[in-house]
Structure 1
Amino acid sequence: MNAIPVDDDSLTWGVPSRRVAAFFIDSFLIMIVTLGFAFVFAFIHLMSFGLLRGPAHLVLLVGLIYLAGWMASPAMATPGQMAVGLSVRRADDLGRATLVQAIAFTGLLYLTLVAGVIWLGVALVTTRRRAIHDMLSGLVIVRAGALEPRPW
């Protein structure tokens, strides 16, 4: 059988630089979606003379829904991660991430960004190149191409 060991270092080789590129791609896409929702809510606000301004606060959840939804989907990666060849997997068996893990990952990522980007540097020195939010959520980001079966 061509099973890949879970602790194989080739799965995470070159991942930190790809994660940075994926972050910028996903940030741009989140910005586009957020702007679209902001315009819709602004239109609703104007048409209702300010009576329906409450749902506008839901715009703050766009990033969380975008990231967690894509990571827990069968694609197992956000569009930015797919563009650079990454996949989000559970750390213990390389299975698909659960929705709870994806939400925890996203929330912890945002907390890490608020606390200071320097904390993301942990991924450069840990085994399997995992950041703090990866370890706490039980996920690992691997190269999607490394998961394909190897020929003998």
Structure 2
Amino acid sequence: MNQNRASDAVDRPPPFEGVIGRRVLAWLIDGAILFILSWLVWGGTGLLALFTLGLAGGLFLLPWGLVLPILYGTLSIGSPLSATPGQALMGLVVRSESDTGHPSFGQAFTSTTLLALSWAAGGVPLLAAFFSSRSRTLHDLFSDTLVVRAAALQPEGRQGRFIAEDG
């Protein structure tokens, strides 16, 4: 092991250490953001319906409570940031398990949709993280993604790979 690699390993935390607690806080942050966004969407929909004399009133029929969180998560995780704003604030990133690169939009959509279904199931599928050595929930497993600490990744010039694999 060369000197640079040894110092990198010492300075960086393990990729999965403390991820569960950080994910819970990230969900709370994202929930607050979604709450504000939902009020803005409903208010905007109401104003649009008012200004169009009811012609745009059909927008009230869209299931905003499901559409908005899925769009929020998919666009956030599928972006170059590879994290929702809450995850980014908590120092987390989402990575594709197969190559530890940025997840695709398909993976982001699958993960976000399955997360919404997990919450609809009372959050029970989320408990899988407590039994996984890498803190993976069922939506992580089915979307082939990992949530890791951003500080555990190598710099972008090194393709964002993990310093130490934790299995």
- Both proteins in one fold, TM over 0.5: yes
Larger radius of gyration between Structure 1 and Structure 2: 2
Task: Give the counterpart of 1:118 among 124, 137, 147.
Answer: 124
TM-score by length of 1: 0.88
Cα displacement (A) at 1:55: 2.5
Moved more, 27-36 or 129-138: 27-36
Distance 1:63 1:118 in 2: 19
Distance 1:93 1:58 in 2: 35
Match of 1:72 in 2: 78
Match of 2:158 in 1: none
**Count of residue correspondences:** 145
The CA RMSD measured in Å over matched residues stands at 1.9
TM-score by length of 2: 0.80
- Which amino acid is the alignment partner of residue 41 of structure 2? F
Where in structure 1 are there 5+ consecutive unaligned residues? none
Mapped pair 1:91 → 2:97: yes
Q: Following superposition, which runs of at least 4 residues in structure 1 exceed 3 angstroms of deviation?
A: none
Distance 1:58 1:132 in 2: 24
Where in structure 2 are there 5+ consecutive unaligned residues? 156-162
Cα displacement (A) at 1:13: 1.1
Identity of aligned residues (%): 33
Match of 1:141 in 2: 147
Distance 1:21 1:34 in 2: 20
Mapped pair 1:22 → 2:26: yes
